[in-house]
Structures are given as C-alpha cells and as structure tokens.
Amino acid sequence: MNQDPAIKKYTLITVMVASFSTPFMGSAINLAIPTIGREFNSNALLLSWVVSSYLLATAAFLLPFGRLADIAGRKKIFILGVIIFTLSSLLCGAAWSVQALIGFRVLQGIGSSMTFGTGMAILTSVFPPQERGRVLGFNVATVYTGLSLGPVLGGAMNQHLGWESIFFLNTAIGLATYLFATRIKGEWADARGESFDKTGSVLYMFGLVAFLYAFSSIATSVWAKYILFFGLVLLVLFVRQEMKCRHPLINISLFKENVTFALSNLAALINYSATFAITFLLSMYLQVVMEYSSQSAGMILLSQPVMMALLSPFAGSLSDRVEPRIVSSWGMGLTALGLFFLGFIARSTPLWLVIINLMVLGTGFALFSSPNMNAIMGSVEKRFYGVASSTSGTMRLIGQAVSVAIATLIIDLYVGSAQLGPATADLLQKSVNVAFIVFAVTCVGGIFASLARGNINTGARQAGK
C-alpha cells in the first residue's frame, strides 16, 4: 500500500469532490421537481422517473464497473466516469422535454456508477486500516455537505436561475474533479489478469432493471407483474452463474462465509430503502401542501444533512475504537424514531418540531453510515476492495431506487395521474404519511440486521486485512 503523503492528499481531495457532486445534485434537483413538472406539464408519476432513471442506471452498472476497475485499474475507470458524468450533466441542463431529461439522467447514472464503484476502493487502497475510519468519515462528511448545500443552493437556483442551472453548476464541479483526478499518481488493479464475467454482467443488469422498474410500476402497468417475474428469473440465473464462474462479477462466498460483510450490506440496503425518499417526499409536501417556495423548503430541509456533515467524521473515528455494529445500530434506531414522527405530520404540525425531527434523522444517519462502511471494507481482503466498495454502493443505490419506488407506488395509489397542486394537496399529505410509516417499520427491521452481524476483529483490520 502506497504511503506517499502527496498521493494520499490528492486521492482524498479527488474522491471527496466527486463524492460531493452527486448528492449535491440529487438533493438540489429534488427541490426543482415541482418546477420541472410545471414547465413540462408532467404528472407526479413521470416526475418520479427524473429521480428513478438515474438510480436505476447507477445501480445496474455499479457492480460490473466495480469489478472491471479491479481488473483494468480503478483510477482509469474513475476518470472515465467523471468525464461521462460531466458531459451528461451538461446535456441534462439542455434537455427540451421531461423524456429527454430522463434519458440524459440514465447516461448520468452510468457515469456515476463508474465513480461510485471505485471511489471508496481507491481510498481503501491508499490509506492504511488504522486511518480508514477517519478517512471514510471525512468522505461521508463531504457527501453530507453536498446534501446540505443541495437544498439551499438548489432551492435558490431553481427559484432565481431556473432548474437547468443546477445541472450546469454540476458540470463545473465535474470539470474540477477531472483536474484533481489527473494529479493522482499510480494505479490500483489487484485483480489484473483475471477474466471479466460478461454473462453475469448481462444477467445482473437486465435482471435488476426489470425487477426495480416492475416494482415501481406495479400499480400502473398490467405488464409489471410479468416483468417482475422475468427480472427475478434473471437474478436467480445470475446467482447460479456467479457460483460456477471462476472469476465472478461478485464473489458469492463473501456473503455465504463472511457474516459481517453480508449483514452490513443488508443493513445498508434496509437503511437506504427507508431513508432516501425523505427529501423527495418532504420537498413536495412543503411546496404543494404547505405552499412554501423552493428556496424556503430548501432551508427547512437543510437541518438534516447539516447534522450528517457535522457528525460523520466523529462517527467514523468512533468506529475505529468502538465496534461499528454498536454505533450504526444506535444510528438506525434514531432514524426509525424520526421516520415514525414524520408519519403523523400535518398542516398543524409546528415547523420547529419538523426541523428538530430532521436533525434527529441527520444524527441517526451519520451514526449509521460511515461506521457501517468501515465494517464492510474492514471485513474483506485487499483484492476484494473494489468488489466490496461497488457491492456496498450497489446496496445503497438499490435501496435508494426501492425507496423512491415505494414512495412512487404509494403516491400513485392516492394521487394517481393528477398533476400536483392545491387540488391534490390533501391526497399528497395522506400518501406522505403512509410512506413514512412504511419506512419507519422497515428501519426497525434494519436494527436487527445491524446488531446480528457480530464483532469485527479490529486487530486483523489494523494488521492490513
């Protein structure tokens, strides 16, 4: 492992800038959803695909690119991903219809998968195990800084400059990421010489997209149940392919033999499934039901990611000294409590109480995220860093896609194809309440997965595992 301070510095800066851009854009664009709907005359269901299309594409390509990075070089795949993400951000800002925007968001998701699947692996390759929790904590803090600035800048930019400006700003950030990335010296490809599982990649990508698409469309499409079954069949075939492949896309034995790795990923999947749609739902709730401007809604939503950004470095460092499962389980518990409260918000709920609850959610998520990532990366050997990073990223993206799919399904059951506005405000509030109760129950289940993973051998991690 290279200990050169210059390499460490540029690597950390590069990954942190890349880690900032995606959550910034995601949280910012959530504030612009109602505006995009009015400009393109789109209903709530179609608008949800502005978010879902990006998540589906990222989740589908994340694991294949993570494996390819282990073989061909993590820095090479990372830089290519930055280029694709930057160009697609420019195209999104120039979109002439909601359908074009959704298409460009797919391309953006492909670029994101290349940086998501390699960023954490590059950090883990460069920094020794005893520094890993602190560095991952800084990186997670950067993610939450992006989430923090997203609602504030995104709401203001949407209101004063138009929703397109959000994508154009992200284009500039992408250019900065590329310039920093070119300063990194060295390459990491611990699986160089091994073959790439093309069959497994095709089965995985088509199976995952079919499953998630059908899940989110089950209430609106008569074909959804057949597509859902088709997706499940492909995913079963993918698992069989991986079990017999000499160099699989993902090592199934990591899940069969490594309880910590398996349950940490399951905890991440559950947590993101229960939390990602918070901003999406509250953005619509605050603007449509409570009639706040996008800028005011952004300021209100700021209270959650600010707590994440402030506490993530502390939580990451804490997980270097205390078992990560303990820290992350407390975080999951606080998150479940916050989600349960949101299940009962109404027009009469005081705004200060909503803000305090968002701070509780932010604290819970900070305590969960970086310790859980530390547990994942600390439970595998070096040659599996890329797979572990992309697997955890896949769990995150699948969880996010499932979260939006659940929210979309519930909104569709209550609001249907009607456009968002004063006439649908009461129905939207009911759907938001139901969605948060479902998410709270889901999060309670995640506490048990987090506690059941067992302890990590800290000595083994520090020895260079």
CB 268 within 8 A of CB 396: yes
- pLDDT for position 461: 42
The CATH number fitting domain 5-186+247-462, selected from 1.20.1250.20, 1.10.260.40, 1.10.3720.10, 1.10.287.1080: 1.20.1250.20
- pLDDT for position 460: 38
CA neighbor of 47 nearest in space, from 102, 112, 8, 84? 102
CB 358 within 8 A of CB 125: no
CB 243 within 8 A of CB 252: yes
Alpha helices in 258-350, H assignment, sequence order: 259-275, 277-284, 294-301, 303-321, 324-342
Q: What is the pLDDT along the chain (465 residues), one digit of tens a residue?
A: 445 666 777 777 788 888 788 777 777 787 788 788 888 887 767 777 887 788 788 878 888 887 787 777 778 888 888 899 999 999 998 888 888 999 999 998 888 888 876 777 777 777 766 666 677 777 777 776 776 677 778 778 887 888 888 889 889 888 988 888 877 776 666 666 677 778 888 898 898 888 877 876 776 677 888 888 998 999 889 888 878 877 777 777 777 777 778 888 888 888 888 888 887 888 888 888 888 887 788 788 878 777 877 787 777 677 667 676 777 888 888 899 999 998 888 888 888 898 999 999 988 888 887 777 777 777 777 666 666 766 777 787 778 778 877 887 888 777 766 666 677 778 888 888 999 999 999 888 888 777 776 555 433 343 344
The torsion region of residue 97 among left (phi > 0), alpha (psi -120 to 50) and beta comes to: beta
- What is the SS3 assignment for 266? helix
- pLDDT for position 129: 67
DSSP conformation class of 194: P
Amino acid at 47: L
Which residues have C-beta within 8 Å of that of residue 372, sequence separation ≥ 6? 264, 267, 268, 271, 324, 328, 450
DSSP H or E stretch at residue 251: none
